[in-house]
Structure formats: C-alpha cells, structure tokens
C-alpha cells in the first residue's frame, strides 16, 4: 500500500492572494518595464513564453529573480496561516505542489526553508531543487512528519 498524497496547485496561492495568475504576473512585468513599448493587450495572443520575453524586453532572468525575491519576502496574515496550517494537517502522508510560491513553507516549523532540501537518508543544500528532495512538515509536536515535495526542477 502506498502513501496518501495531496496534490496542491497554484489555486491555493491565488486563494490566499499570495500571487496573481501568469497573466497578472506578466502584465506586472510589462507595467514595470520602462522599455516596454506595446500595449499589453497586443501581446495577449502570444504564447506565454513569448509574452514574458516581450513584456520584459528580453530580460526574463532579471524579472524572474525579482519575482522570486518578492515571493520570498511575502508574509502570511493570521487568516492565511490558519488555512495553510489546516492544509498541512490534512490526513496525507505527503504533499506534492507545483507552486512557485512559498505559502506552504510558511506553514512549516522552519520558515526559512525554501524548496526541497531533504531526501531519505541524504541531505541536500537548501538550494537543491531535486524532485525527490522534500521539506519535513512536523506539526502539533507530533513525532511523525509529512513530506512536502515541490514537483519541478
């Protein structure tokens, strides 16, 4: 018998109002880009990968680093923390998320952790994005911990 796994998508980040959808993020990039010479509506028919290139004037790396720093610095209010705490306490062995946000990490005991850093019997650095790395989620002073996996590399 396998582990019970809860899959969490970006809907949780949007519900908590931690981030916008990709359209909103790309639009924000365009609005903050002084060299962007188009109307955002003009690029909406492009594939997402091209929208972000045009919206950032081909400075995607810089824009994504800025977004990452913004997401790392965000704090959850008490109501948001309560919802995350409830999610992390659901009766699942593991949690898998594809989110690019950190709201689930904010609900763990060590809130300075970003992304996966553990595997069974082997520790990675906190910068490791290995699919098989996980963050141990231990709540309510329980000796058992669940594992939080970010399902991308």
Give the span between the Cα atoms of 9 and 151, in whole angstroms.
10
pTM, to two decimals: 0.66
Both tokens assigned to 32: 């903050």
Residues 118 and 98 in one domain: yes
- 96 and 121 together in one domain: yes
Same-domain status, 82 and 67: no
Cα–Cα nearest to 10, from 80, 142, 99: 99
Same domain, 29 and 63: yes
Structural domain ending residue among the three candidates 30, 47, 73: 73
Report the chain's mean pLDDT, rounded to a whole number: 76
At which of 31, 54, 73 does a domain end?
73
pLDDT of residue 124: 47
Lowest mean pLDDT among 12-26, 61-75, 138-152: 138-152
Domain count, the chain: 2
Position 9 confidence tier, pLDDT thresholds 50, 70, 90: confident
- Please say if the pLDDT value at position 125 is more than 70: no
**DSSP state, 56?**
T
Q: Tell me the pLDDT tens digit for each residue of 38-61.
A: 777 888 888 988 999 999 999 888
**Pair 61, 109 in one domain:** no
Residues spanned by the domain of 35: 22-73
CA–CA distance, 2 with 102 (Å, rounded to integer): 27
Beta strands in the chain (DSSP E): 5-8, 94-97, 118-119, 122-123, 135-137, 146-150
Radius of gyration of the chain (CA): 18
Same structural domain, 144 and 83: yes
Q: Are residues 69 and 90 in the same domain?
A: no
- The token pair that represents 118 in the structure block: 């553990």
What pLDDT score was predicted for residue 58?
A: 92
Same domain for 11 and 83, yes or no, is yes
Is pLDDT at 138 greater than 60 in this prediction? Answer: yes
The answer on 86 and 11 residing in a single domain is: yes
Three-state secondary-structure class, residue 134: strand
Higher pLDDT, 10 or 112: 10
Whole-number pLDDT of residue 53: 92
Whether residues 32 and 9 fall in one domain: no
Give the tens place of pLDDT for each residue, 98-114.
Answer: 777 778 877 665 555 55
145 plus 81 within the same structural domain: yes
Residue in the block written with tokens 């519900």:
15
Is the model more confident about 138 or about 104?
104
Choosing from 73, 91, 111, the residue where a domain stops is 73
Strands 122-123 vs 118-119: parallel, antiparallel or unpaired:
antiparallel
| 81 and 145 belong to one structural domain | yes
């Amino acid at each position: 018998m396998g582990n019970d796994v809860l899959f969490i998508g970006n809907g949780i980040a949007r519900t908590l109002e931690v981030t916008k959808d990709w359209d909103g993020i790309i639009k924000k990039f365009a609005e903050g880009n002084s060299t962007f010479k188009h109307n955002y509506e003009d690029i909406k028919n492009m594939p997402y990968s091209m929208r972000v290139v045009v919206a950032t004037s081909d400075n995607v790396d810089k824009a994504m680093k800025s977004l990452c720093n913004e997401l790392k610095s965000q704090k959850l209010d008490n109501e948001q923390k309560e919802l995350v705490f409830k999610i992390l306490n659901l009766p699942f062995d593991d949690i898998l998320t594809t989110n690019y946000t950190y709201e689930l990490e904010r609900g763990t005991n060590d809130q300075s952790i970003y992304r996966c850093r553990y595997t069974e019997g082997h520790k990675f650095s906190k910068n490791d994005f290995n699919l098989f790395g996980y963050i141990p989620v231990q709540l309510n002073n329980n000796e058992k911990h669940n594992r939080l996996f970010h399902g991308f590399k």
